[in-house]
Amino acid sequence: MDYLIIDFPPGTSDEPLTVSQSLPNIDGMVIVTTPQAVALLDSRKSITFAESLKVPVLGVVENMSGYTINGVTAANVSVEIAGPGGKTIKSTSDEDGNFSVTLDIFKKGGGKSTAEDFGVPFLGALPFDPGFVRGGDDGVHKIVSDPEGASSIAFSEIVKQVLAQISDKPSSSLEII
């Protein structure tokens, strides 16, 4: 096994404590959050929790960060979309009539600011992508079905950053009991 990734529920419940105490030489934790204030509170607690266990925080990922709408209209036309919080988002279509706008449904930037506040790396933002739900239902993961899509590219960049951090560390053998 090259890597073992364990997905914990939000917060500082017994699961991460038990795993941290049971598995020696954990390379680190990645804190995944959404941009809402309540989720960020849990993320901040998780970073403090990891630090108290002396488990390195490899970084913070902001999940569900923006939902991009792509559309087609006449060429070089200004388009206005009513976004969350009463904001109007403007875009202009290109010569082929394609336009794109990103709606910050769950706010934006909380993951990055949390990482900065705690002095840990911000690994990146993953867009809100309904394709992950459909992929789970269909049995074909979104990253496999659309490897050049925005979500796949964002995820790949995050993985590269994590691998860069843990590949520099000496490998330890894990005894599975």
Lowest mean pLDDT among 87-91, 162-166, 172-176: 172-176
CA–CA–CA angle 29, 30, 33 (5° rounding)? 135
* Residue pointed to by tokens 């991009």: 68
Q: What is the pTM of this model?
A: 0.84
Residue range 2-61, pLDDT digits in tens = 888 888 877 767 787 888 888 878 899 999 999 999 999 999 999 998 888 888 999 999
Residue range 72-131, pLDDT digits in tens = 999 999 999 998 888 899 999 999 999 999 999 888 899 999 999 999 999 999 999 888
What does the pLDDT read at residue 169? 62
What does the pLDDT read at residue 176? 42
Instruction: State the amino acid at position 64 in one-letter form.
Output: M
Query: DSSP code of 45?
Result: H
* Two tokens, residue 129: 């992508």
Report which of 93, 110, 103 is spatially closest to residue 130, judged by C-alpha positions.
103
Instruction: State the amino acid at position 7 in one-letter form.
Output: D
